[in-house]
Amino acid sequence: MEREIIELRRQIANANAAANAQQQHQQHQHSSSINQGPSSISTPFSSSQRNIYQTSTGLSGSQYMGSHEAVASLLDLRSGLDSSSFLRSSSSQVAMAKRLEGVSLAPERVTDLFSQFFTFYHPFLPFLDRDRSPEEYHSTSPLLFWSIISVGSRRYQADPTLLNALSGPVSRLVWSVLADVPQSYHVVKALALLCTWPFPTSSTSTDPTFMLCGMMMHIAMQIGLHRPSHAQDFSKFRIEFREGELKDRVKTWGICNIVAQRVATGYGQPSQTLFDWTLSSPESADQNFKLPAEIKCRLDIEKFCDKVTRGLYSNARDPVGLSCDDERFVVTSILTKDFEELEGQLRQEHNSITNLYLQAGGLHLRLAAFFDNPTAKDYRKGLLALYLATTLFLDEVLNLEKNVGPVLAYIPNYIYQMTLAAGFILLKLCKSFFAAHIDMDYTKALFNRTIWAIRSMSVSSNDLPERLAEVLAQMWRTGGAPVSPHVSRSSVSPEMDDTLQLKVRCRMSMSLVYDSVWRWREDFQAKGKNLESFLKNPTNPDSNADSSASSVAPLRGTSSTPGVPGADSNLPSAPSSHTINIGGEGNLNTSSSGNGMGFLGGFMEPNYEVFDPLNWMLDGLVDFPYSLNPVQGLES
């Protein structure tokens, strides 16, 4: 740092001296300077690179860096910005190309990417100030600046390779910034973005999101965001807030908890949230503690999700944390009333994205039905509630493009995870005795659209959404025929079966996903199949062939909702309650022919060990197209 200060002073002195000498030189040799031929400014980059800021015209002395530009140039050296990228425009404003390692972006490209971010991504996590310029964001926090750029590049058609090019440099920038202590609370904002839209990866073992989420929460508490009005207690320096900074800190703390709860729910892990007084202050409190209405609504939803996790999956008396059967029934009843109250409060908001998060919270609650005892009195009611919650959530997902616009491609990682879970719910229910009591035509159409929705959420070839959508489609095809919905009462045993029980029980509401992928892996490995061919030619769940070229859906087609090519893009209305034939016990089919998981071999063996089936399934046991460009920066 001392060396940088000395260099800074030297550059300022040299710049001032050069400016004075140049002014005198221009006064004596003005005519000769006019007759000089045009020259070009060379850059260390190839001229063929479109995103490098260059000029081929002559530059007068006033267009070179002055003392202020020298200061800015020196201060930006740590972030990898080349000082040669500073040029002064005719309006006397400094135009700067931004560079991170080998990635350089012209000012116009930066502005375009910021516009992409605030138009398509920011509505899902609305906490940044769109009125601030990219230059202000960069001067405040280079990591926050590059995080915004990274999210904005996920669907950037002007340069489809930019996201892959940024993944390595930005990931390394993250770890280098995290190595510094203390931190700025703007770093917390950057981590919130990267946890909401992580870089694409092909395996859960190379996904750092849950780890970054924990660091986000701990950095926030280390610098006192949870006690924003007493930040002085967390610093050895005197802290004086600028105008609006206290309110921004409160908002950032709220976003931290929102993101942390979504990450915990989506990854099936305990939450690290802290919903304390700062986020629960009464309306009469200081206005600086009042959250924007949009953030407040979404915070209330995540508070509900936290109550679900703590009520159903945090039993200290159980080895895997599950509440006992009787306790689960009581807690679920209480949480159901809480959800209905929350739904009533948020109904007046008329916000499609907020309602999407609300239905995701309802699905999080109802997924506990897979842990219920099949002999319990209300087992069928729990499955019915789960099915209805699934259809409501998927209805919101698939209708989002009609209500908001073409936004499925920009969806956060959490919504993708819940959509994947919803797909496995439909699969599980349709391949069980419960299929006899639901509208199978509607459910099959909904499942098919869910497959295409997940595939449309893929941002990189060979990433997790693409792979797991293929797994979901294959399980529908190989799981056996669904139970006929026209089974007669006389042919159905009055006893319940256990086809819907899970072996993986440690991943909370996401246990179904991990359990299902394990089952698929057992069948896939036993048959010696190669996933590479399926990824190149994705499986059509409605086809009789192993795969179908027609099943490949474009990321952005002509229909507003991803679906079967040529099919009606409008989602069928949710089935009414009378289409679900849940009557007495005699109406339930217990035939093993409806169990689509009968091919699982030794999965239910007592020597089963609990671990992450996604890691095992995606880390070397099957062949993947390694000829594809790997995602940089996420290597183990």
Three-state SS annotation for 220-237: HHHCCCCCHHHHHHHCCC
Averaged confidence pLDDT in the chain: 75
Write the pLDDT tens digit of every residue in 148-192: 999 999 999 999 999 999 999 999 999 999 998 888 999 999 999
Position 235 scores a pLDDT of 75
- Match 């929350």 to its residue by tokens: 342
In which band, very low, low, confident or very high, does the pLDDT at 350 lie, cut at 50, 70 and 90?
Answer: confident
Position 17 scores a pLDDT of 58
Phi-psi region of 601 (alpha: psi -120 to 50; beta: other; left: phi over 0): left
Position 242 scores a pLDDT of 76
Whether 302 maps to a domain, the answer reads no
- Indicate if 566 and 453 belong to the same structural domain: yes
- Indicate if 195 and 274 belong to the same structural domain: yes
pLDDT at 265 over 60: yes
pTM over 0.85: no
Give the C-alpha separation, 146 to 144, whole Å: 6
Position 401 scores a pLDDT of 77
* Tokens, residue 77: 């050296």
Q: Where are the alpha helices (DSSP H) in 313-412?
A: 325-346, 352-366, 379-403
Position 394 scores a pLDDT of 98
The upper half-sphere exposure of residue 184, i.e. CA atoms within 13 Å in the direction of its Cβ, equals 15
Whether 88 maps to a domain, the answer reads yes
Contact by Cβ (8 Å): 202, 467: yes
- Count of domains observed in the chain: 3
The upper half-sphere exposure of residue 316, i.e. CA atoms within 13 Å in the direction of its Cβ, equals 0
Position 181 scores a pLDDT of 86
- Match 């006690």 to its residue by tokens: 227
Write the pLDDT tens digit of every residue in 224-253: 998 887 777 787 777 777 778 889 999 999
Contact by Cβ (8 Å): 113, 153: yes
- Indicate if 146 and 14 belong to the same structural domain: no
Spell out a b/e string for 176-205, using b for 16 or more CB atoms within 10 Å of the CB, else e: ebbeeeebbbbbbbbbbbbbbbbbbbbbbe
Query: For residue 182, is the peptide bond before it cis, meaning its omega torsion is within 30 degrees of 0?
Result: yes
In which band, very low, low, confident or very high, does the pLDDT at 372 lie, cut at 50, 70 and 90?
Answer: very high
According to DSSP, the residues that pair with 88 across neighbouring strands are 94
CA separation, residue 119 to residues 106, 122, 130, 199, 222 (Å): 20, 7, 10, 19, 32
Whether 309 maps to a domain, the answer reads no
Position 78 scores a pLDDT of 42
Domain finish residue from 96, 115, 148:
96
- Indicate if 91 and 156 belong to the same structural domain: no
Whether 32 maps to a domain, the answer reads no
Give the C-alpha separation, 620 to 632, whole Å: 18
| Interval 15-30 mean pLDDT | 54
Sign of the Cα pseudo-torsion (517, 522, 523, 526, in order): positive
Count of Cβ atoms closer than 10 Å to residue 13 Cβ: 12
Count of Cβ atoms closer than 10 Å to residue 636 Cβ: 6
Write the pLDDT tens digit of every residue in 115-145: 999 999 999 999 999 999 999 999 999 999 9
What's the helix, strand, coil split of the chain in %, to 5?
Answer: 60, 0, 40
| Interval 459-483 mean pLDDT | 83
- Indicate if 73 and 206 belong to the same structural domain: no
CA separation, residue 373 to residues 384, 438, 495, 496, 519 (Å): 15, 21, 13, 10, 21
Contact by Cβ (8 Å): 315, 270: no
> Which contiguous run of DSSP H or E holds residue 95?
strand 94-96
Nearest to 103 by CA among 57, 52, 147, 140: 52
Position 19 scores a pLDDT of 58
The upper half-sphere exposure of residue 219, i.e. CA atoms within 13 Å in the direction of its Cβ, equals 26
In which band, very low, low, confident or very high, does the pLDDT at 352 lie, cut at 50, 70 and 90?
Answer: very high
Spell out a b/e string for 541-558, using b for 16 or more CB atoms within 10 Å of the CB, else e: bbeeeebeeebebeeeee
- Cα angle 602, 604, 607 (rounded to 5 degrees) comes to 85
- Indicate if 87 and 107 belong to the same structural domain: no
- Per-position DSSP letters for 144-201, written without gaps between them: HHHHHHHHHTTT-TT-TTHHHHHHHHHHHHHHHHHTSSS--HHHHHHHHHHHHSPPP-
Q: Where are the alpha helices (DSSP H) in 404-439?
A: 413-430
According to DSSP, the residues that pair with 98 across neighbouring strands are 105
Which domain range does residue 66 map to? 1-26+59-96
Write the pLDDT tens digit of every residue in 50-84: 333 333 333 333 333 444 444 444 444 444 444 34
pLDDT at 20 over 70: no
- Per-position DSSP letters for 502-556, written without gaps between them: -S--SSGGGHHHHHHHHHHHHHHHHTT--HHHHHHS---TT-SSS--GGG---SS
Domain finish residue from 291, 307, 329:
291
> Which contiguous run of DSSP H or E holds residue 87?
strand 86-88
Give the C-alpha separation, 97 to 312, whole Å: 51
- Indicate if 107 and 90 belong to the same structural domain: no
DSSP state of 375: T
- Indicate if 87 and 127 belong to the same structural domain: no
Burial class, 133, CB count within 10 angstroms (exposed 0-12 / middle 13-18 / buried 19+): exposed
- Indicate if 193 and 84 belong to the same structural domain: no
Write the pLDDT tens digit of every residue in 476-498: 987 644 444 444 433 444 455 67
Write the pLDDT tens digit of every residue in 582-614: 443 333 333 333 333 333 333 333 333 333 445
Position 615 scores a pLDDT of 52
Position 630 scores a pLDDT of 36
Whether 348 maps to a domain, the answer reads no
pLDDT at 465 over 90: yes
Q: For residues 227 and 342, which has the higher predicted lDDT (pLDDT)?
A: 342
- Indicate if 81 and 144 belong to the same structural domain: no
Give the C-alpha separation, 296 to 283, whole Å: 12
- Indicate if 142 and 22 belong to the same structural domain: no
Nearest to 140 by CA among 251, 34, 245, 69: 245
Whether 625 maps to a domain, the answer reads no
Count of Cβ atoms closer than 10 Å to residue 449 Cβ: 22
Contact by Cβ (8 Å): 498, 596: no
Tell me the angle at which helices 413-430 and 440-456 cross, rounded to the nearest 10 degrees: 150
Whether 307 maps to a domain, the answer reads no
- Indicate if 75 and 142 belong to the same structural domain: no
Contact by Cβ (8 Å): 295, 251: yes
**Collapsed DSSP state (helix, strand, coil) of residue 99:** strand
Whether 630 maps to a domain, the answer reads no
Give the C-alpha separation, 411 to 457, whole Å: 7
Give the C-alpha separation, 310 to 371, whole Å: 15
Write the pLDDT tens digit of every residue in 304-326: 999 999 999 999 999 999 999 88
* Tokens, residue 341: 């109250």
pLDDT at 453 over 80: yes
